[in-house]
Amino acid sequence: MAISHQASEAVPEKRRWSAGPIVSEMWTSLAISVIWLAVLFDALFGPDIVTSNGAGTNTSHVPSAIVVALFAYLATRVVAKHGFGRSDHAS
């Protein structure tokens, strides 16, 4: 008496997802958040930039957060491009 067994089908291995891109994006988001928190705290507690003419009669007050926000904007662009940029290189 011959017993025939069907060949068991190969169970496809579950695809493992890499946590690398998610971790990278998390750190990028955290870095950008800290940049803008620095702008917020400078706006709340930072000094003003005070300029005056030679005699001291005309003075101008500009919040330092404006200058910090300009550099925060530039830093945000660089960090976002580096952190959220997709690499097309096949590895």
pLDDT at 23: 86
The contacts of residue 65 (CB under 8 Å, 6+ apart) are 39, 42, 43, 46
Domain residue extents for the chain: 20-84
Q: Spell out the alpha helix ranges (H) of 1-91.
A: 20-45, 64-84
pLDDT at 20: 67
pTM of the model: 0.68
Query: pLDDT tens-digit profile of 35-89?
Result: 999 999 999 999 999 998 877 788 999 999 999 999 999 999 999 999 988 655 4
Total Cβ atoms within 10 A of residue 23: 10
Q: What are the residues whose beta carbons fall under 8 Å from the beta carbon of 60, sequence distance 6 or more?
A: 50, 51, 52
Q: Which position has the token pair 């007050």?
A: 61
